[in-house]
């Protein structure tokens, strides 16, 4: 027999941890038989055996014949195999599928996955970081472009020197300060 029990993490949370209980219907079928029980993680690793309660593997905190307590909300499988005195055989696997209802993820309807609230928080932090990084890059590009524009067009941002124009051609002449004085003096002499 194979059972799937879908629960929310809030439903199984207790003061001591997350409590996974074996259904009483299954336990009643095992009363008059020799049974072995095992608890497995979702990947199939043995994490607890009620006959060996001192051998527990994380996240298991405690185990008994009818329950298991874990430190955090996980998916688990419980297997019970019984052989009775009359030769009958009974086996049952119960898959506990826990989901965190407070986490809003695209897979929240998929009951085979455990979703943790911290994954959504991580996505939000990553999104904020990306937006800030993009804004910094845009500001840096604008700043560098503005600096380059100032270097490429220096005449646009300087004052208009009408005294450096050749009066006959109307062309502005680039002169140093010494040349500017000598030109002004020669222009004054020629106009006299």
pLDDT digits (tens, 9 = 90+) for 15-49: 989 999 988 888 777 776 688 889 999 888 999 98
User: What average pLDDT does this structure show over 176-190?
Assistant: 54
What is the phi/psi pair of residue 54, to 5°?
Answer: -85, -15
pLDDT of 169: 57
**164-180, pLDDT tens digit by residue?**
555 565 555 555 555 55
Q: Which domain holds residue 39?
A: 2-115
Residues 56 and 140 in one domain: no
Q: Confidence class of residue 109 from pLDDT cuts 50, 70 and 90?
A: very low
Q: What is the pTM of this model?
A: 0.50
Q: Is residue 179 part of a domain?
A: no
Domain final residue, candidates 96, 115, 134: 115
User: What average pLDDT does this structure show over 49-77?
Assistant: 89
pLDDT of 107: 44
User: What average pLDDT does this structure show over 146-156?
Assistant: 58
Residues 104 and 127 in one domain: no
Residues 102 and 62 in one domain: yes
């Amino acid at each position: 027999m194979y059972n799937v029990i879908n629960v929310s993490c809030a439903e199984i949370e207790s003061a001591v941890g997350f409590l996974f209980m074996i259904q009483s219907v299954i336990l009643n079928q095992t009363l008059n038989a020799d049974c072995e029980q095992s608890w497995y993680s979702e990947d199939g690793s043995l994490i607890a055996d009620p006959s060996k309660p001192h051998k527990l593997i994380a996240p298991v905190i405690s185990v008994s014949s009818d329950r298991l307590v874990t430190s955090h909300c996980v998916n688990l499988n419980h297997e019970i195999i019984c052989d009775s005195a009359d030769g009958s055989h009974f086996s049952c696997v119960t898959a506990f599928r826990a989901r965190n209802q407070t986490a809003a993820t695209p897979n929240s309807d998929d009951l085979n996955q455990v979703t943790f609230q911290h994954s959504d928080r991580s996505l939000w932090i990553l999104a904020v970081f990306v937006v800030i990084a993009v804004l910094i890059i845009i500001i840096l590009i604008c700043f560098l472009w503005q600096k380059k524009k100032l270097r490429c067009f220096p005449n646009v941002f300087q004052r208009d020197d009408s005294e450096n124009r050749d009066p006959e051609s109307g062309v502005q002449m680039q002169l140093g300060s010494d040349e500017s004085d000598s030109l002004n003096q020669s222009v004054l002499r020629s106009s006299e």
